[in-house]
Amino acid sequence: MSDFRVSKEIGIGEIVIAVLLFLVLIALGAFAYMQRLSQQRSSADDIRRSAAVVAGKLAREAELEGRFFEDLQSTLTDMSEKVAETHATQPANRMFYRTLGDAIAKSSQRRLDENLDVATADLFRQVPEFQQTFDDAFQAMRVEEYRMYEELSLAIQSALRDPEVLKLSGSPEVGNVLRLKVADINTRSVNRIIRLSRPLWCDATDLVTMGDAEVLTGEQRVNILDMHPVPKLDPVPK
């Protein structure tokens, strides 16, 4: 049998070129992979930043609700003095409704200043799975606010028409009655807002702590919503 001979010799230069081409292909592949990872990290960071902003604003919901009641305090003192002086429903009742209207307007302005709608719109653009749950919860929170205004009005009306309250001669005694009623509504209202906003805060903070691959996966984000269901509204008292 004759020896097998390679008829075409490969020069050293051709080997070097082949190796270089191979290395270039590896480098290009690695560069493309790193670019893809960088883009994923950038997209994930954008989601986490948006979620962090929303979480921060949701954490202030209870504070904003409490500030509404703070706006009523000075008028409660004036009303107490007027009732102790006149032993009548009016003009204390008119004083209350003027202040209530002003407090509602201030509360609305504070919420506008928070720009929660803008923050959530940015989050929904990147995480559309969250929009329906958040919108429903926000609607429920606004319903709770209007319910609170009604409860507050009824409570103050009841106190200002109560003969036992009207016959009190000291403004501190009248003030104690009014403040106890307002404090009770304040506590219940803030607790209801916390119940509704807390699951949303948990959803947003979970996004902040997720890894890149998880936060960019729709299925993983939906799982977050299932972990923190928003409670239904309390039934309207009869």
pLDDT band at 36 (very low <50, low <70, confident <90, very high): low
> Looking only at Cα atoms, what is the longest distance across the chain?
130
pLDDT band at 42 (very low <50, low <70, confident <90, very high): confident
How much is the pLDDT for 21? 72
Residues 6+ apart with CB under 8 A from 86: 92
Calpha distance 119→123 (Å, rounded): 6
Could you give the C-alpha distances from 115 to 64, 91, 194, in angstroms and in order? 13, 37, 19
How much is the pLDDT for 88? 95
CA-based torsion, 81, 151, 112, 228: positive or negative: positive
How much is the pLDDT for 113? 92
How much is the pLDDT for 4? 43
How much is the pLDDT for 16? 65
Residues 83-97, mean pLDDT to the nearest whole number = 95
Tens digit of each residue's pLDDT (9 = 90 or more) over 136-181 = 999 999 999 999 999 999 999 999 999 999 999 899 999 999 999 9
Tell me the domain boundaries of the chain.
12-227
Could you give the C-alpha distances from 177 to 173, 182, 187, in angstroms and in order? 7, 9, 16
Tens digit of each residue's pLDDT (9 = 90 or more) over 1-30 = 444 444 445 567 666 676 667 666 676 666
How much is the pLDDT for 219? 86
User: Given a cut of 50, is residue 124 above it in pLDDT?
Assistant: yes
What's the pTM? 0.80
User: Given a cut of 80, is residue 123 above it in pLDDT?
Assistant: yes
Residues 70-78, mean pLDDT to the nearest whole number = 94
Measured in degrees and rounded to the nearest 5, phi and psi for residue 3 equal -65, 140
34-38, 39-43, 214-218: which has the minimum mean pLDDT? Answer: 34-38
